Structure 1
């Protein structure tokens, strides 16, 4: 009787997992496809002016590989770069000036806003300062890009052409992250895969769509839309600032677009599991709005969708129950198939795809650790700063 009950439970759980994967495959905006790239574009008759804003805190290690690519932009209109040194202790600001002297190219201004006031994240305070400097030049567009992002020479003109042709107020590209170490190969493609599962790119670009997201490493923003959405002031406490920015622009009536990049790359290395763990765990609980209920639901959801299929297959075989093993095996097969396109995008071998349950288990642990660190007072910690939950900031105010 006990054996029958166990088999029946495995059959039902594996069947639910398979149903979840069939729904994800067909009904979640075809999130697994990687062909959402810059939309069709035509060069404008008059190239609008653009200011590039780069928030930078202790970025001396990556700046030589990224800043020269911005200075070397082949843009037919007026463009200049504003690098905001956010309290760096490694000489980031002086290095930026030296790189500009050495490489030439677009005009570069380096400035510092001082420490952020209560209720602001350091990055958004730096972005606010950079946008204020840029507005004095009257640009029609702002390119918000991180200090670790390297751009191909035509990146800016392609972004502007896409925004002009499509009538978009925000055009964002998910930079291709570095994938070289063993842990980067296991974790990084899955990071983008999970992001696309939460925010299917195809849905974001549709007029009237409710899904909104951006990738903070590369965001072209119409200056008028930024003012209408009151950014960054309206999102000043957001740890996941790119998604908050996209929601603010869409909420104020703007049109947005997000897709994968072809020649916009992150040069920041994450060679160890510890480095990747910190990258994910610092904001995972903020993504869940610091809700224990959402945390529990996420843990159960990851377990059902990613861990049950291989466990059901192995458990069904161990129990001698094809009825339990078959749904688990089919769910694992669908999971593997949907992950292969992202591995191809990252130029990784397809045999890594069946290892996705292991990577998902790592993400589950990172998410739980994010919550633990939050309740220990170390949540959302990054480069020497720790940010409180937004409602806690409001209460203190």
Structure 2
């Protein structure tokens, strides 16, 4: 009982640190609108697409439907699709107010040492240099994202006003199915805990992160780091790009309202695969970091409810830790318009994430890591 009480105190201490010493990661804060710039710079958007015929039309319509006062171009990089992605994109562009702004590029074969998405982005950047050489900013987004008409203007205004080399929004993920309601808000919550947005924005903090669904990068910053070749082999390309850019320029990351993910995750398997695809990559393929993650997740999320139910009132620190956990989670549940009763169930979601993380390591050791669109992109284990 003494050991259990000590462990309950450890869990409570962890949540006290998370609540008061982690830059308020659990709070949902939206940035204020930035002043309108005196001149709107040219922007080129790049969308890598591999077999995205089901969603690319809405993506293209969203990008080209921007109420952006400056010049906007769009490069869709068809990464060896066989479902008519290029044709669907062209048809969608024809129905917008900028029908001539679209350029479709067929990606060359994937070179060794490159991840598929980063190679497609590099191909898009090379095309952008030809078709939009005066563009000051590159808007990086995904084929399964729809952007509201004022998103780009807000990104550019913030980048210009705050003099940031990278401005990123975490798009609003789909949260309609039962499994999405259980898993998706926690995904954003865990991401914000790992990369507190306040520290990302703070130039004195080494924390760097971005969300690949919506990133506005200055062309000068991309040139400074050597383009996408600087992150050629990275599977977590967005955070890797932010880490490269931040030492030489300010960056920011915020939650977005009007940028929305179109990709559904209607069953547990699709969400499990989404996490397992890159979880072990996040741990740098380290067994020691994996072990540390198991210990940390167990102490932080699993121990409080287990000890509370097993020890009753005698293990009151565990009850307080569980309550602190639920209170910290509620702002994200409100952000995603989910009921408050899901807050005490966060340990179940954490267990799901932990299982997917362990499966991510298993896949790596079986040489099946980084699976996406028919590619296994994790490096070969030595």
**Which TM-score band (shorter chain)?**
over 0.9
Contact 1:38 1:261 in 2 (8 A): no
Q: Deviations over 1:107-163 (max 9, x none)?
A: 101111122100001100000011111122221000000111111101111100000
Separation in structure 1 between the aligned mates of residue 337 and residue 197 of structure 2, nearest angstrom:
20
CA deviation vs aligned residue, 1:18-77 (integer Å, no higher than 9, x gap): 000000000011000111x23541111111000000001111111233221111111101
- Asked if residue 330 in structure 1 is aligned to residue 324 in structure 2, the reply is no
8 A Cα contact 1:53 1:143, kept in partner: yes
* Offset, 1:182: 0.2
In 1, Cα distance between the equivalents of 2:32 and 2:364? 39
Structure 2 residue corresponding to 1:162, chosen from 158, 161, 185:
158
Partner of 2:60: 67
1:285 to 276, 280, 283: 280
Q: Which of 231, 235, 246 lines up with 2:227 in the alignment?
A: 231
- Residue-by-residue CA offset, 1:71-103 (whole Å, 9 max, x unaligned): 111110111110001111211111101111233
- Equivalent residue for 1:53? 46
Please state how far the C-alpha of 1:104 moved relative to its aligned partner.
4.2
Following the alignment from structure 2 to structure 1, what is the Cα–Cα distance between the partners of residues 84 and 275? Answer: 27
Q: Which residue in the other structure is 2:358 paired with?
A: 368
If the length of structure 2 is used for normalisation, what is the TM-score?
0.97
Deviates more, 1:160-169 or 1:204-213: 204-213
For residues 314 and 75 of structure 1, the distance between their equivalents in structure 2, rounded to whole angstroms, comes to 55
Structure 2 spans left out of the alignment, 5+ residues: none
Matched, 1:314 2:304: no
Stretches of structure 1 lacking an aligned partner (at least 5 in a row):
1-6
2:183 to 174, 187, 203: 187
Runs of 4+ more than 4 Å apart: none
TM-score (norm 1): 0.94
The aligned runs of 1:66-215 (5 Å cut-off) are 66-105=59-98, 107-136=101-130, 137-138=132-133, 139-215=135-211
Could you say what the CA RMSD is over the residues aligned between the two structures, in angstroms?
Answer: 1.2
Tell me if the contact between 1:190 and 1:359 (Cα under 8 Å) persists in the aligned partners: yes
After TM superposition, the structure 1 = structure 2 runs for residues 240-251 of structure 1, keeping only pairs within 5 Å, are 240-251=236-247
Count, aligned residues: 379
Cα distance in 1, alignment partners of residues 235 and 18 from structure 2 = 27
Aligned 8 A contact 1:73 1:105 in 2: no
Name the stretch that deviates more: 358-367 or 7-16: 7-16
Secondary structure in structure 2 of the residue aligned to 1:143: strand
Q: Name the SS of the counterpart of 2:318 in structure 1.
A: helix
User: Match for 1:18 among 6, 12, 17?
Assistant: 12
